[in-house]
Amino acid sequence: MKVESGLKYTKKDEWVRVEGKTATIGISDFAQEQLSDIVYLEYLVSEGDEVAKGDEIGTIESVKAASEIYSPVSGTVTALNEELLDTPETVNSDPYGAAWMIKLELSDPSEADALMDAAAYEKNVAERDS
């Protein structure tokens, strides 16, 4: 399992990269490992939509299971990674890079401070696995 430093993580395995007022959101390497082969992704939001922290923003399906994706922060949707709709398997190979899912303009940048850093996330995952 790869955990990238510099990102913030949720207990539901989403990650967020905050750069200025922009938040880029995806699912962690651990999440994609648990799901296995990703075959489908659906967004439940569109560009321009307001999203609150904890809102369901998408659904991801694998050959094993389906899982909801939740926003770790609040803001306005500025971009969706449309390429993932045609190639959802990218989530398996590059969860922290090409498989980013949604970008938001943050309405409250301090919300990210309450999320786990890489070390805390690794500990959280280890506790769940044991």
Does pTM surpass 0.85?
yes
For residue 129, pLDDT beyond 80: no
All structural domains of the chain, each given as residue ranges with its CATH number in brackets, are 8-110 (2.40.50.100)
Query: pLDDT by residue (tens digit) across 5-63?
Result: 999 999 999 999 999 999 999 999 999 999 999 999 999 999 999 999 999 999 999 99
Query: pLDDT by residue (tens digit) across 62-84?
Result: 999 999 999 999 999 999 999 99
**Alpha carbon 67 to its chain's center:** 12
The predicted pLDDT at position 57 comes to: 98
Rounded Cα gap, residues 72 and 20, in angstroms: 16
Query: pLDDT by residue (tens digit) across 74-112?
Result: 999 999 999 999 999 999 999 999 999 999 999 999 999
The predicted pLDDT at position 7 comes to: 97
Rounded Cα gap, residues 124 and 98, in angstroms: 25
The predicted pLDDT at position 128 comes to: 87
Residues 90, 92, 95, 100: is their CA dihedral positive or negative?
positive
Rounded Cα gap, residues 50 and 104, in angstroms: 9
The predicted pLDDT at position 130 comes to: 65
The predicted pLDDT at position 10 comes to: 97
